[in-house]
Structure 1
Amino acid sequence: MPLPEVAAPTVAAETPIEASPDPTHDEFGAYVAEHGVPDIIEVLLPDTHGVLRGKWIPGTAGGKIWGDGVAIPLSIFGLDVWGREVEETGIHIETGDRDGICRPVPGTLKQVPWAPRPSAQVMLSMYEPSERGGETPWELDPRHKLAHQVERLAALGLHPCVAFELEFYLMKPAPGPGGLPEPVFPASSSGPARQNMYSMSDLDAYAGLLHEIRQAANLQGLPADTIISEAAPGQYEVNLYHRNDAMAAADDAILLRRLIDGVARRNGLRASFMAKPFLEFAGSGMHVHVSLTAKAGHNAFSTGEAGEALLRHAAAGLLATMADTAVLYVPSYNGFRRLVPGSYAPTGVSWGYDNRSVAVRVPNGPEKARRLEHRIAGADAHPHLVLAAVLAGMLEGIERQLEPPPPLTGNAYEAEAPLLTYDMAEAVRDFAASDFVARAFGAEYQRVYAVMKAAECAAFERRIGMLEYETYL
């Protein structure tokens, strides 16, 4: 069944989308006036890993979401990636497992076109009730970590302009209980599955599904731009337009993942954002493009020598903080398998101009579009944490006026640059010991995140892989 027809956005490819104005307190009332009362409202709270937690609330009770808020335990941010309590965080039953109050994120109330019944969705952000009344941002909500970095930049008269690129694989559902999804390889040529980069025939093979993704994005107001067939069979990438609102840009990335998965399921398929689902093919990344807009409204990276110096400082900060924040960019045990030479995923602490083998790239293009592309994050990473770490790294370089090493040319995999770790446990230790992380994210966030990721890493290291059984049993 096709999705409703909607008009395409009238935004030029080079034009950032401005932040939506703050809606009135009657945002839900305006939605009902336009679309009617939905059967349910899906309230969505991205947890520490970017996994969506939340509830289904009857549409008839929707007004309470904007009035009283939604009660969800504060400890939701102490769950591991499987949704289990990590007791070492110290924020579960030993605290009484208190509720936080979750407030709707303005502008995220949207229709859910892939749902079987009329449904709406809205993103939430968590606040901690104060004993004296009122609420304060809950320090473990990643959205507030990003907001803090945006505020720090604003104090310098700078505002991030951001765009995400998201890669994914289309998969067939698991054939039965305990089975694994199977890859979908478009039959664009005879013979075994092979790399077929930028293939128009691979786009044509799933044109119906890809057009539904675009339709759903238009209906939800997500600024989807280009769709391409990526570096592996069955792998695709959806780009988002640049936004002058960093918070909205990260929200877009979270919601786009949900949208792609929802439309794929509607078509009997799965969308996998696993960072490295196949050893023989490229992994899936989430690239982040960032420029800085000055008070006058121009790109601060494009103002002659001063702009070039600002760009160098920002790049140097990203390089200087890369090892400490690697586990935010690569938050999964599987994700470190993606960082292999020759795969278009970076392996070194490096930067360069128009070079896709480095970690921080200055893309080619007009001077007014000068920006940094951060290429480390996997598609499974949390967009708010990734962007918070990128902005914090840029700030570190700008405030300390750091200078980077010479930009790399040619094949960065063969250059003598410091290497990113391939070991999740080492990345967790670097994060836990980092003075920079403590300053940028707060010591409590640093502790809780490190404890959760150490527990996740240990869970994988306690499992015996199939190759060991095949070899030694």
Structure 2
Amino acid sequence: MTSDTQVDAAGPLDEVERYLARYPDTEALELLIADTNAVMRGKWAPASTIEKAFTTGVAFPLSMFGLDVWGREVMETGLHVDTGDRDGFCTAVPGSLRPVPWADIPTAQVMLTMTTETGEPFHGDPRRALEKVVARAAGMGLRACVAFELEFYLLTARPGETQAEAFRPVLSLGDGPDRQNMYALSDLSAHASFFSEVRAGAAAQGLPIDTILSEAAPGQFEINLKHRTDAMGAADDALLLKRLIQETARRHQLRATFMAKPFMAWAGNGMHVHVSLVDGADCNIFADPSKGETVLESAVAGLIDTMAASMLVFVPTWNGYRRLLPGSYAPTRAAWGHNNRSVAVRIPAGEGAATRIEHRISGADANPYLALAAVLAAMLDGIEGHRKPPPPTDRNAYEAPAPELPDQLDDAVRLFRKSDFIRRTFGVEYRSMFAAIKDAEIAAFREEISPLERATYL
């Protein structure tokens, strides 16, 4: 969660010294690294490890990035026993040393990034793909201004139910049927202590929370992060906000889920990405009165052209494709439009410096580094190629004459695996590794016989 002002050019140990001067009672350190599926992995360590994390690094196996969503080794990635399961070294991300508000003892946390034994960036670390695209933008004299929106459900357990039925959305107004109550302040008030603790934790960790709202289903909420001109920091913020929400929910005897489609009858959870591009003078190039609209449309064209190939990073889970339903406000076609929430790429209402793209495809369970890398790379491709998008959609995009997006995980894997855009953006090795992990997950779901099948055919 680095920012333009948090990284100290004087050296990483200055950050450690400042932190320990402010929190001298620190006893423990949580070492955090996001795997391919955006699952936080790492270690708990004594506070004395902080300096090591910022200098020589902490050893972790490279195979950490070859795990499926359940944390099982996927041998087809080539990162496990066939290579000796070698260690890499993870060093602290500058600016990411923060307190852990929910810990039982004074605890710090720090985010890590992986290098090989020789000190080279490791291709399997999802951060590396985004770093590469950020560097490409910098070479064009541009920086991305990014904000994430995260949707989630708060769930409460129902004692005595089976595992499949054990959780339901929280109800805000006493007993009664689950009901939609969009934008209801009463729903926020009913969980004021939870959201107050989330805000306090975000302030302690430097996470720039903006608005909080009740969403399109009972117990569903959205928290938005503020825009920042540090794409890496924005992706860090998204991951750390998810962790903060989940840990705070646990303290309130609730469960927060970012599962893309936890309930078929209700809206799914999305991760919308708002992006504009600023030049060396900190001016939004989409707002330029002479050529801003043309550049914006070129960026949109790049997104439309690469959308199907990138679906695997936007919707990386078996469950995620259940979210993409007509009329659900989750897109099903490669369409774009102005002030239209049924499209995949929306240009929100507003003028001038606020002109931006809202990318609406990703599920809340997507990896922010990978999703943002694909979005930025596509925008840059469109701008560099002076591409022209199809006409915008001004009505129901589910009925628009636009290409349908993949609606199954295996179709997304197939398109991802053969895409030259994916090869250029993520590299051949990462493309192969990620596809192998998803193949293994598909196989696991296909081997599972559902309760519905047994109820129907036994």
Shift of 1:187: 3.5
RMSD, matched Cα = 1.5
Q: 1:25 and 2:5 equivalent?
A: no
Distance 1:40 1:177, change over 3 A: farther
Q: Distance in 2 between matches of 1:29 and 1:20?
A: 14
Aligned 1:42-53 pairs, distance under 5 A: 42-53=30-41
Q: Please, what TM-score do these two structures have when normalized by structure 2? A: 0.96
Alignment correspondent of 2:342: 357
Alignment correspondent of 1:426: 411
| Aligned equivalent of 2:146, options 162, 170, 192 | 162
Q: Which moved more, 1:58-67 or 1:197-206?
A: 58-67
Give the conservation status (yes or no) of the 8 Å contact 2:153–2:219.
yes
Alignment correspondent of 1:450: 435
Aligned 1:79-94 pairs, distance under 5 A: 79-94=67-82
Q: 1:110 and 2:98 equivalent?
A: yes
Q: Deviations over 1:358-397 (max 9, x none)?
A: 0000000122110000000000000000000001111111
The amino acid of 2:222's aligned partner reads E
Give the conservation status (yes or no) of the 8 Å contact 1:72–1:101.
yes
Q: Distance in 2 between matches of 1:218 and 1:438?
A: 39
Q: Distance in 2 between matches of 1:250 and 1:99?
A: 25
Shift of 1:314: 0.5
Shift of 1:195: 1.1
Aligned 1:21-420 pairs, distance under 5 A: 21-22=7-8, 24-26=11-13, 27-130=15-118, 135-173=119-157, 175=159, 179-180=163-164, 181-188=166-173, 191-420=176-405
Q: Distance in 2 between matches of 1:271 and 1:111?
A: 21
The amino acid of 1:110's aligned partner reads R
Q: Helix, strand or coil: the match of 1:62?
A: helix
Q: Distance in 2 between matches of 1:254 and 1:39?
A: 24
Q: Distance in 2 between matches of 1:175 and 1:86?
A: 36
Query: Any stretches of 5+ residues in structure 2 without a counterpart?
Result: none
The amino acid of 1:273's aligned partner reads F
Q: Helix, strand or coil: the match of 2:331?
A: coil
Q: Deviations over 1:160-185 (max 9, x none)?
A: 00000000000124748972541233
Give the conservation status (yes or no) of the 8 Å contact 1:353–1:363.
yes
Q: Percent identity?
A: 54
Q: Helix, strand or coil: the match of 1:304?
A: coil
The amino acid of 2:124's aligned partner reads L
Q: Which moved more, 1:102-111 or 1:392-401?
A: 392-401
Shift of 1:188: 2.8
The amino acid of 1:248's aligned partner reads G
The amino acid of 1:150's aligned partner reads V
Q: Deviations over 1:1-41 (max 9, x none)?
A: xxxxxxxxxxxxxxxx8453336322222111111142210
Q: Distance in 2 between matches of 1:60 and 1:459?
A: 41
Q: Distance in 2 between matches of 1:82 and 1:137?
A: 25
The amino acid of 1:160's aligned partner reads A
Q: Please, what TM-score do these two structures have when normalized by structure 1? A: 0.93
Q: Distance in 2 between matches of 1:38 and 1:83?
A: 30
Alignment correspondent of 1:8: none
Aligned 1:8-23 pairs, distance under 5 A: 18-22=4-8
Q: Which moved more, 1:98-107 or 1:32-41?
A: 32-41
Give the conservation status (yes or no) of the 8 Å contact 2:298–2:389.
yes
Give the conservation status (yes or no) of the 8 Å contact 2:29–2:47.
yes
Q: Helix, strand or coil: the match of 1:219?
A: helix
Q: Distance in 2 between matches of 1:423 and 1:457?
A: 10
The amino acid of 1:453's aligned partner reads K
Q: Distance in 1 between matches of 2:176 and 2:201?
A: 34
Shift of 1:273: 0.5
Q: Distance in 2 between matches of 1:273 and 1:175?
A: 22
The amino acid of 2:173's aligned partner reads S
Query: Any stretches of 5+ residues in structure 1 without a counterpart?
Result: 1-16
Give the conservation status (yes or no) of the 8 Å contact 1:19–1:244.
no
Q: Distance in 1 between matches of 2:316 and 2:208?
A: 26
Give the conservation status (yes or no) of the 8 Å contact 1:19–1:248.
no
Q: Distance in 2 between matches of 1:30 and 1:177?
A: 50
The amino acid of 1:55's aligned partner reads K
